[in-house]
Amino acid sequence: MDSPASPPMIEIENVTKVFSTQDNRNLKTIDDIQLSIAQGEFICLLGPSGCGKSTLLNLIAGFETPSAGIVACAGKPVVAPGPDRGVVFQEHTLFEWMTVSNNVSFGLTCNPDIRARFPDAAGRTQACIDLVGLRGFENTFPNFLSGGMKQRAAIARSLAPDPAILLMDEPFGALDAQTRFIMQNELLKIWQTTQKTIVFVTHSIEEAVFLADRIVVMTKRPARIKEIVKLDMPRPRNINDPMLSDIKSRLYDSMASESVMI
Amino acid sequence: MSAVAPAVASRFELGMTRALYEWWLLIALAVVWIAASALNLIPNSVFPDAQTLARATVDLVTGKVGVLGKLTDHVWISFARFAAGYSIAAGIGILIGLLMATSSLIAALILPILRLLYPIPGLAWTPLVIMWAGIGENAVIVLIFLSAVWPIVYGAYDGFRNIPRNYMLVCRQLGATWNVRVRRVLLPAALPMLFSGLRLGHGMGWRAIVGAEMIAAVTGVGYMLNMGGELRRPDVVVVGMIVIAIMSALLDRFVFGTLEDRLISRWKR
């Protein structure tokens, strides 16, 4: 992964993001971030609520443009959102009036280019539904699915156009603890099967430690990179592993100094 | 009871049981009314008894009441006026609601006007509308429009305004064309509230039509009903009322009910 031969999948070079608020003040949310993410890597962005980690994700997704610096994916600068970067949000993103199957196939049928790329949209849709374990629920409407199943469907939809990168913004944040744990395991399996590059935003240390190759700890606003913790442990990980416990307590200390009054 | 027959019978029985359960008071009142009619207890100058009402219905349908004309003609005229006024209300109402939802500037401009005009009953416009359009077709259509349009504007505004932001982000990320965004995402997302506005406006339109035709027309069910009053014919008035109720209820149940089942109920919870 450190070999210079393979160029990074995501390159964030000196990126700063400033928003202007309604009363015309400038609010710096991201300050000079430098980060390089390799192909196939699982990165967790960890930081206090409201620190700007979602903004960083939106910059990679192309929903926002940097005020300074460059974000590049697969060697090309990001100028707009695109199907090469799948996004999974926390909630409220499945189209309620479409069945699971139609939600998943939406990304394969919503423009002429993508239709040409996936002539067998039905087969691809089914493969993605199978991958996330939703076989048998193809014709169910989202409102009749549990929270975990909704997120499975959302993941399937974002995977359908075969993006190189999966961007996930606290995707399991609204789930109960048990479902959350199941979904984390599912996601790791999907990641291992598909070899995607994943950037996963979370404020949960446990979640980051369980999932990531590298954890990028961010400061409170304006977000800078505080430290990057590399985890070389095989998966599935045991959350009570003493080595993980050390890392967790280190991360708790790191986060505690960044806690903000809300 | 055989073991085979019930499938059909029980469904019918179920339907009857449900109808009885929902409508028992109405049915009971009808029974009382018919019994009182049979005993000649109802003074026809105040409220028609069953036989008078039946005769009036037949006479009106066959056009034997002279100046009152044929019921079927009135029904058709009223329906055509309603369809015209309501269609214009739907088209303009949805457009205004959509514009308001798209631009906060337009919303800020229109909302105060809307808040002022919404509580005014459509029929309060009648004298003005007659001055503008004269007595007849156009006046009635405009009055139906003025009664039906407000809830439609609000429904469309709320429907389009409350589309979750994430839906558009998903569309941008997946690269949906504008055609796909409008047809497959924006319209269906706005549909539940849009639809309830349309349904509410439908009811408002029917409420307005009788009043509008009483004052601003010389044909239509409302006019017939009003003439019934002038001629001291309670039976004609009641026939008119029943016809209006049936027309609006049929449309509401069969058009709106069916559309709602098909387009919304199966996914909305």
Complex confidence, ipTM: 0.90
Q: Which residues pair with A15 in a beta bridge?
A: A33
CA distance A247 to chain B (A): 35
CB distance B189–A97 less than 8 Å? yes
- Look up residue A219 and give its two tokens: 């400061």
Residue A46 makes CB contacts below 8 A (sequence gap 6+) with: A53, A202, A203, A205, A208, A215, A216, A217, A218, A251, A255
* pLDDT above 70 (res B267): yes
Per-residue confidence band for A1, with pLDDT thresholds at 50, 70 and 90? very low
For residue A106, list chain B residues with Cβ-Cβ distance below 8 A: 174, 176, 184
- Asked whether the beta carbons of B46 and B237 are under 8 A apart, the reply is no
* pLDDT above 70 (res B6): no
Say how far residue A98 (Cα) sits from the centre of its chain: 24
What architecture is domain B50-268?
Answer: Orthogonal Bundle (1.10)
Judged by a CB distance cut-off of 8 A, whether residue B180 touches chain A is yes
* pLDDT above 50 (res A253): yes
* pLDDT above 50 (res B1): no
For residue A107, list chain B residues with Cβ-Cβ distance below 8 A: 174-175
What is the rounded CA–CA span in Å between residue B207 and residue B226? Answer: 15
What is the rounded CA–CA span in Å between residue A255 and residue A114? Answer: 42
Query: Lowest-pLDDT range, A175-189, A196-210, B35-49?
Result: B35-49
What is the rounded CA–CA span in Å between residue B29 and residue A198? Answer: 69
Give the whole-number percent of chain A exceeding pLDDT 70: 96
For residue B170, list chain A residues with Cβ-Cβ distance below 8 A: 87, 89, 93, 157
Q: Is the bond preceding A171 in cis, omega lying within 30 degrees of 0?
A: no
- Residue A93 is nearest to which of B170, B267, B269, comparing CB atoms? B170
* pLDDT above 50 (res A224): yes
Query: Lowest-pLDDT range, A1-5, A113-117, A194-198, B251-255?
Result: A1-5
Per-residue confidence band for B240, with pLDDT thresholds at 50, 70 and 90? very high
* pLDDT above 60 (res B5): no
Nearest C-alpha in A relative to B176: A110
Per-residue confidence band for A33, with pLDDT thresholds at 50, 70 and 90? very high
Per-residue confidence band for B265, with pLDDT thresholds at 50, 70 and 90? very high
CB distance B269–A144 less than 8 Å? yes
* pLDDT above 90 (res A238): no
Give the whole-number percent of chain B exceeding pLDDT 90: 76
pLDDT for residue B7: 54
Give the whole-number percent of chain A exceeding pLDDT 90: 75
Better-predicted residue by pLDDT, B4 or B265: B265
* pLDDT above 90 (res A259): no
Strand ranges, E, within A81-205: 85-88, 165-169, 197-202
Query: What's the average model confidence in pLDDT over A184-189?
Result: 95
CA distance A185 to chain B (A): 25
What is the rounded CA–CA span in Å between residue B171 and residue A98? Answer: 14
CB distance A93–B167 less than 8 Å? yes
pLDDT for residue A63: 95
pLDDT for residue A22: 82
**Would strands A214-218 and A42-46 be described as parallel, antiparallel, or unpaired?**
parallel
pLDDT for residue A4: 47
CB distance A83–B185 less than 8 Å? no
Per-residue confidence band for A6, with pLDDT thresholds at 50, 70 and 90? low
Give exposure, B115-150, as e/b (b: 16+ Cβ within 10 Å).
eeeeeeebbebbeebbeebeeebbbbbbbbbbbbbb
CA distance B193 to chain A (A): 14
pLDDT per residue as tens digits for the range A144-178: 999 999 999 999 999 999 999 999 999 999 899 99
pLDDT for residue A262: 45
For residue A157, list chain B residues with Cβ-Cβ distance below 8 A: 170, 174
- Residue A96 is nearest to which of B171, B173, B267, comparing CB atoms? B267
Most A-contacting residue of B167, B174, B177 (CB-CB within 10 A), to test interface: B174
pLDDT per residue as tens digits for the range A60-76: 999 999 999 999 999 99
Q: What is the mean pLDDT of chain B?
A: 91
CB distance A97–B167 less than 8 Å? no
* pLDDT above 50 (res A86): yes
For residue A80, list chain B residues with Cβ-Cβ distance below 8 A: 172
For residue A88, list chain B residues with Cβ-Cβ distance below 8 A: none
For residue B176, list chain A residues with Cβ-Cβ distance below 8 A: 106, 110-111
CB distance B189–A110 less than 8 Å? no
Q: What share of chain B is helix, strand, coil (3-state, %, to 5)?
A: 85, 0, 15
Q: Which residues pair with A199 in a beta bridge?
A: A43, A167
CB distance A63–B169 less than 8 Å? yes
Judged by a CB distance cut-off of 8 A, whether residue B173 touches chain A is yes
Judged by a CB distance cut-off of 8 A, whether residue B266 touches chain A is yes
pLDDT for residue B2: 46
- Residue ranges covered by each domain of chain B: 1-42, 50-268
Query: What's the average model confidence in pLDDT over B252-259?
Result: 93
Q: Which helix or strand (DSSP H or E) is residue A187 part of?
A: helix A177-194
